Amino acid sequence: MRELKVGTLIIGAGQAGASAAFALREKGYSDPVCIIGEEALPPYERPPLSKAVLREEKSLSDILVRDLPAYDSHNIQLMLGSRAEQILPQEQQVKLGDGQVISYDNLILATGGRPRQLPGKALPGVHYLRSHGDGTRLAAELKQYKKLAVIGGGFIGLEVAASARKMGLEVCVIEAAPRVLQRSLPETIAADVVALHEDQGVEFHYNARLQGFAGTDRLSGIQLEDKSIDADIAVVGIGLIPNTELAETAGLAVDNGICTDAQCRTGNAHIYAIGDCANSYHTYYQRAVRLESWQNANLQGAIVAAAICAETSDIQNDAVPWLWSDQYDWSFQVAGIFDSQAQLISRGSAAEGKQIWFIHSDGVLTGVVGWGKGTSIAKDVRVGQMLLQQGKTPPFDMLADENISLKKLLKL
C-alpha cells in the first residue's frame, strides 16, 4: 500500500473544502494539499441544485466551485470517490475506505451534512436533495410526473416548489408547523412569500402530521392524520444533520456540529472543522453558531487557511450571517440571526416589487431581510448587513423612510 503524506488534508470536497484549499494557496502555503471527496465529482456549488439544475438550465460544469485545471495550476490534489473511514489523531493519519493511509500535518474536516430522513422504508418517487446526483434524478422525474408534494416548508422546499411550478407540475407544500419558514423568518415575511406561491398556484397544508406514504412500487400519495393527498413525486426537505461521526470517533468535542474556536480549531491542535459540519465560536454573537450557508462555507475556508498559515491578522469568525433564496423571479436575502419575538420595521412594499424589513429586539437591530424582484433588494440588505456588522441601530423612522439613503445611515 503506497503511503501518502500531505501538509494539509481536507476531508470533504464541497464549497468549504475547496474554498479552504484555494485560500491556502492564495496565502502562499506551499506544502502538499489534498482533498478527499466521497462523490466522484469535483467540488460544486449546491445552491443551484434546487433551482437551475432542477430546471436543467445548468449542468455540472456550470456549477463547479473552480474548473478542473485550477486544481492542477494550484497544485491541489483531488482524491474523489474516496471515503475517509477513520481519523487516527495520535498518528496524525486518516484511513481511507480502501485501506490507504494518509499522514497529515493539518487536517480540515469539511464533512458537511446529510438530509434528515423520514422514518420508514424508501419508496421510489420520494426524493431528498443534497447532491448533484439527487438533483439530476429529481430533475428527470419532474419532467415525467405531474403532482409534487414538498414535505417541509423551508428555503429548499420552497425553492423546489417554485422550480416545479415553473415546470408545470401541480405542487403542494406540507408543513408540520403552523406556518412555513418558522425557524428562519418572522411570520409577516413568511406570509408574503406564501402569497407569491399561492398566486402561482401552490397549495399549503399546515400543522400536517405525516402518517406515511401511499403506494407499493411507487409513490401514489401522502397520508396525513386528517387527509390524504395525491402525489406521484415527493421531495423531503426537513433539515440537515451535520456529519460529525468521524470527529466523534476521533474523540473531538461534538455538540450540534464539531466544536471549534473562532479560527475553526477543534480541541486537537492539528485538526480544524469548517462549513455546515462545524459549530464554531462566533465573535460577533459571542457564542457558538452552526451555519448552513454558502457564505459561511467560503468564509470559514478563508479563516482556516489563515489559521494554518499562522496569520495573526484579524481574520476570524465574526461575519454577520447572510444567505439568499431565489423563488420564481423573486429573491430573498437575509442578514443576521433573530428570534421569533423580534419586531419589524418595514421599508418599501412587496406590492411594488421591493420590500425591506429591519428586525430588532429591544430596540437593537438584529437582522435585515429583503424580498423583491430580481436583485432589487441586494444593495439595501448589504448596507443593512454592514449596519449590523458595525453594531449600529439608526433611528427607526429613518430606516422606514424610503427617501433616506441607507448608505448615509452608515456614516451617521
Please give the residue ranges that form the binding site for another protein (CB under 8 A).
19, 22-23, 66, 294-295, 298, 301-302, 322, 324, 374-376, 378-379, 382-383, 407
CB-CB neighbours of 379 under 10 Å: 13
Residue 68 or residue 140: which is nearer to another protein going by CB?
68
CB of 297 to another protein, least distance (A): 10
Residue 53 or residue 233: which is nearer to another protein going by CB?
53
Kindly report the length of the chain.
412
CA distance 299 to 297: 6
CB within 8 Å of 4: residues ≥ 6 apart? 34, 100, 101, 102, 103
How far CA 110 is from CA of 100, 333, 382, in Å, comes to 20, 25, 27
CB of 365 to another protein, least distance (A): 18
CB of 25 to another protein, least distance (A): 11
**Per-residue cell: 300:** 470559514
Residue 45 or residue 232: which is nearer to another protein going by CB?
45
CA distance 280 to 304: 11
By C-alpha distance, which of 109, 108, 101 is closest to 4?
Answer: 101
CB of 155 to another protein, least distance (A): 16
Residue 137 or residue 379: which is nearer to another protein going by CB?
379
CB of 380 to another protein, least distance (A): 9
Burial of 220 (0-12, 13-18, 19+ CB in 10 A): middle
CA distance 380 to 368: 9
Residue 302 or residue 306: which is nearer to another protein going by CB?
302
CA distance 255 to 376: 38
By C-alpha distance, which of 8, 16, 6 is closest to 302?
Answer: 16
Residue 113 or residue 384: which is nearer to another protein going by CB?
384
Report CA Rg, the chain: 22
CA distance 247 to 266: 9
CB of 19 to another protein, least distance (A): 6
CB of 375 to another protein, least distance (A): 4
Residue 50 or residue 376: which is nearer to another protein going by CB?
376
Q: Are 107 and 9 in contact (CB under 8 A)?
A: yes
Residue 152 or residue 348: which is nearer to another protein going by CB?
348
Beta bridge partners of 104: 6
By C-alpha distance, which of 313, 212, 205, 304 is closest to 262?
Answer: 304
Residue 150 or residue 383: which is nearer to another protein going by CB?
383
CB of 222 to another protein, least distance (A): 35
Residue 152 or residue 321: which is nearer to another protein going by CB?
321
CA distance 21 to 65: 11
Taking the CA atoms of 26, 47, 344 and 176 in sequence, report the sign of the dihedral they define.
Answer: negative
* 210-214, strands of its sheet edge to edge: 210-214, 221-224, 228-230
CB of 18 to another protein, least distance (A): 10
CB of 39 to another protein, least distance (A): 20
**Per-residue cell: 343:** 419586531
